[in-house]
Structure 1
C-alpha cells in the first residue's frame, strides 16, 4: 500500500503517511498518485488547483473555508513544520464544532486529507515553513470566510508555547466570526 491511512476523530479527515524510500543519498516518495489515493482512502476526487505558501515562524493562517464552492484539501509541508488544525463546520455532522490538529513537517512527511466543508488553518512552529495543498474546487474570493482561530467554544489547543510572541494574523483572520456567528449566517 503506498500510504498508511489513519482516521481522525473528525468524520472524513484522514492522516496519510506515504511510503518513503531513503538511503545515504536522500529520499524519494510519490507525494500524490490519483490511483493510489483512491485505493488507500476509498475516495474519488479530482484536484483542480495546487497552492504553495511560505510563512515565517508564528504566522497563523486560518481558519479558512468557502461558504459556497467548498474545497476538499490534501495538505502537506515541504520545508519546516506547522501545527495544522481543522474544525468541522458541516451542519448536521456528528462531529460539528469539533477540532483536530497535528504536526505536519518536512521531516514526518505526513499529509492530511480535509473533506469539503471544514475550516482549516495552520500555525508555523519552525523558523519558516512551506505549505502545499491540492484543492477539489477553485478558490472563489466572493465566498471566502474565516472562523475565529481562538473561538473559546471550539477551543483549539494551539501550541503557542512554541512561539516567542503572539501569532501573526491577517486582518481578516483577526476579525473572523465565531462558530455560533457562522451558524447564524448559514
Structure 2
C-alpha cells in the first residue's frame, strides 16, 4: 500500500509506493491515481521531466512557475539522492516563507509532492543523480521564476556539499524573498 506522510507544511507530502521484489527484480506502481485520490489528492499530470546532475552538490532551484502555468510537482529519484526543498510562497499563508525538506533517493524509493504556490529546489548528494518529476502544467518561459537558493532570510539547512555548490548562472543571481512579489495568494 502506498504510504503518504505530510511534512511540517502539510500540503507537502512524502509518498512511498510499494515495491514488490522476487528473484527477477522488483515491480512498483510508482503512481496510482486511485491511491492519490483516496488521500484527497486530485492532480491531472500533463508532463514528465528528467534531469541528470553529474556532480554532488549541484543545486537546482528554488524554481516556480507563476499562474496560469503554476505547477504542482511529484518528484522522485531514479539514481542517487537529493536534499529536496519546498518553500511556501503563497501570500497570506500562515507558513509563507517557511520551508520543508526531505531526502529523496533511489534506495528509499520515496517521492515528494509539492503543490503549486511553492518554490522548489534540490541539492544532489551523490554523483550522476537522476531526478524524474511529473508536473500538472506545461513549461512557460514567461511564467518561470526563482528565489535565491541560499537566501539567509529563509535559513534553509542545506547539506554540506564538500565544496562549492554547482549552480546555473540564473540560479546564482535569483532574487531574495524580500525582493519578491509573489503571484500566489
* TM-score when normalising by structure 2: 0.94
Contact 1:12 1:114 in 2 (8 A): yes
Shift in CA distance, 59/130, structure 1 to aligned 2, threshold 3 Å: same
5+ residue gaps, structure 2, are none
* Aligned-partner Cα distance in 2 for 1:25–1:185: 49
Would you identify which runs of 4 or more consecutive aligned residues in structure 1 move more than 6 Å? none
The answer for the alignment partner of 1:51 in structure 2 is 49
CA deviation string 1:40-70 (max 9, x = no partner): x211110011101111222100000012221
Shift in CA distance, 26/175, structure 1 to aligned 2, threshold 3 Å: same
Q: What pairs up with 1:1-186 in 2 under 5 angstroms?
A: 2-39=1-38, 41-56=39-54, 57-68=56-67, 69-160=69-160, 163-183=161-181
* TM-score when normalising by structure 1: 0.93
* Aligned-partner Cα distance in 2 for 1:128–1:167: 15
* Aligned-partner Cα distance in 2 for 1:79–1:184: 33
* Aligned-partner Cα distance in 2 for 1:61–1:24: 37
**What RMSD over aligned residues (CA atoms) do the two structures have, in Å?**
1.4
Give the number of aligned pairs: 182
